[in-house]
Structure 1
Amino acid sequence: MPIVNILVTREGTRAGAERTTREQKAAVYKGIADLLFNVMGKPHEDTTVIFQEHEIDDFGQGGLPLSDYRNHRERNCQDT
């Protein structure tokens, strides 16, 4: 039985959205189940997907809270 754990920051994929919508999550669940079926032959009904949303600073990247890392990266990209 495949179990897929998805961790994302609590940011929506559309401007102004604060979190992932129910419809977006449903599309992710279906997409994962379809992928595992198409690639590995795993039946849809055997696939479990766990979707966890976290505040942005529950993650760190490059030794910084994720929001600081993104700000730093954005500033560096504008300088080039």
Structure 2
Amino acid sequence: MPIIEITMIEGRPFEKKKRMVKEVTDAIVASLDAPREAVRIIIREVPAWHFAAAGVVKGEPQ
């Protein structure tokens, strides 16, 4: 059973996440020959101020 964890900055619309889940599932099914029913996806959303790249925090608390 493939379990995929995706961590991203919060704030994307539900419809975009829904599309991402479908497309990631499709990719796992195609690349691993895994049964669609066995694919699990966990989305973890973090506030922008909990994420940094190249030493720069992506946001500040509101």
TM over 0.5: yes
> Which has more radius of gyration?
1
TM-score under structure 1 length normalisation? 0.65
User: In the TM superposition, what are the counterparts of 1:1-80 in structure 2 within 5 Å?
Assistant: 1-10=1-10, 19-67=11-59
TM-score under structure 2 length normalisation? 0.81
The runs of 4+ residues in structure 1 deviating greater than 2 Å are none
For CA contacts below 8 A with separation 6 or more, give which structure has more relative contact order. Answer: 2
CA distance in 2 between partners of 1:22 and 1:47 (Å): 20
Aligned-pair Cα RMSD in Å: 1.7
Identity over aligned pairs, percent: 23
Which consecutive residues of structure 1, in runs of 5 or more, have no partner in the other structure? 11-18, 69-80
Aligned length: 60
Which consecutive residues of structure 2, in runs of 5 or more, have no partner in the other structure? none
